Structure 1
């Protein structure tokens, strides 16, 4: 069974950041919104399929956390706040927004897709329309980063809220991103628990990249690997003793080699187990 995420489109917005560059006026305006973090994104986001697989198998839909070592590590809106810089107070975000609004009118009644948003950004950039440019830019971010889903057409995004950028700070975006992701994790974990054919795919909507920032990857991937855990614990215990003993040249060299070996164990295992989707 393969776990797919829906975050591939955000890399197109990151590519826009790198190639087309935001003007000073555009960047200054975006920095006045809750989504200021997006303007500085330069590196592609990659989500580990192996990590998602492991985390789905450990999801507790009752407590909203991950079962690790006999305990449950809670996943909360505060985690989203730290990972994405979004506030967790304010008015509830109306994701089911089907009302007509100015942002929709910019696309002249046509389907709103990733490609049409990119084209509209280029058009508005040429026209030097900073306000409308920022509205479409945030629309892209909402669809590709904060509330990504399998659909190719933009939907389940609060279009009308973008008509007034000055009001965006009054909404609880952190809670909205959290609720959307938790709902998707719970559905995907239920399907995962039921099992399926080897080639079956489970799609995880929402900002799944947050999960990589919340839990240290090795804490999940190595939780059942007793042999590796014991090797690492022995090395770390030896490193602790060396620290306590002092600082002769040989001890310092041993400390360095020991730490390098610990780091190498983690780096080797994570790089072999990682699958970018």
Structure 2
């Protein structure tokens, strides 16, 4: 999708909280065994992970560090805003992600299509694919109406929305494990990239923390370990880092400052 954006589309999206998405140049791969270990070690009541002999919190700040989404503002209204200008383009009971992408591919090259129309659909696809993915085969429960006014998107607390969705999904996954309903596979919704970045951060799994970018998704680390036992052993025995160490250039810093000034 990013390759199809024009300069005008790029600039318009960069005026929103989802500006970092246009810089993604490669796929964000998720290690499923790592995610499964993280669900098993989830302590829902404390919103934390059990690492070695301590609980380490999973916070909204972790979402911010991975995605660059702002913290603070209005609650994202998932239940109340399911229609809007984007929602009216589709049948929300039958529309799939492929349907969204096909429409986007058609309108992005149409010079007669208003820039905001293209950008709304682009951000909507980002919500469905990356920020709030769900297990449903159809697009459902997305706050499409807030996309009607792109300039007001900075008023919403998107980072907390991503965090809440992940926590809810982790709690449900942990309950299924405790009830013995999961044996070999685990299906989890939400932005799993945030969880993987959390583990990489805490255990320095990338081996070179000084090169970590902000937000983390711009320089993605592919964790290749595929053994549940090996990954679980890291959680049980490895030294845990609870501090953030990151490199941010002046342009990224100015963008972050502008984001908070918008709130």
**What is the distance in 2 between the residues matched to 1:26 and 1:219?**
38
Corresponding residue of 2:76: 93
**What is the distance in 2 between the residues matched to 1:220 and 1:190?**
29
Residues 6-57 of structure 1 show CA distances to partners (whole Å, capped at 9, x for unaligned) of: xxxxxxxxxx32xx43110000000000001111111111111111121111
Say yes or no: does 1:177 pair with 2:162.
yes
The 5 A counterparts of 1:113-262 are: 113-128=96-111, 129=113, 130-196=115-181, 198-199=183-184, 201-216=185-200, 219=203
**What is the distance in 2 between the residues matched to 1:274 and 1:139?**
35
Gaps of 5+ in 1: 1-15, 222-269
**Normalised by the size of structure 1, how large is the TM-score?**
0.70
**What is the distance in 2 between the residues matched to 1:23 and 1:95?**
30
**Normalised by the size of structure 2, how large is the TM-score?**
0.73
- CA contact under 8 A between 2:92 and 2:138: conserved in structure 1? no
Pair 157,109 (structure 1): closer, same or farther in 2 beyond 3 Å: closer
- RMSD of equivalent CA atoms: 2.3
**What is the distance in 2 between the residues matched to 1:36 and 1:101?**
21
**What is the distance in 2 between the residues matched to 1:66 and 1:218?**
11
| Greater mean deviation of Cα atoms: 167-176 or 98-107 | 98-107
Equivalent residue pairs, number: 209
Q: Which one has the largest radius of gyration?
A: 1
Corresponding residue of 1:6: none
Gaps of 5+ in 2: 206-222, 229-263
| Higher helix fraction (1 or 2) | 1
Pair 69,146 (structure 1): closer, same or farther in 2 beyond 3 Å: same
**What is the distance in 1 between the residues matched to 2:202 and 2:154?**
36
**What is the distance in 2 between the residues matched to 1:109 and 1:52?**
29
**What is the distance in 2 between the residues matched to 1:220 and 1:195?**
32
Residues 58-109 of structure 1 show CA distances to partners (whole Å, capped at 9, x for unaligned) of: 1111110101111001000011011100111000001113554221222378
**What is the distance in 2 between the residues matched to 1:272 and 1:122?**
36
Corresponding residue of 1:50: 33
Residues 147-198 of structure 1 show CA distances to partners (whole Å, capped at 9, x for unaligned) of: 0001121111101101110110000000000000000001101111233464
**What is the distance in 2 between the residues matched to 1:152 and 1:191?**
21
| Greater mean deviation of Cα atoms: 158-167 or 99-108 | 99-108
- CA contact under 8 A between 2:93 and 2:140: conserved in structure 1? no
Pair 197,179 (structure 1): closer, same or farther in 2 beyond 3 Å: closer
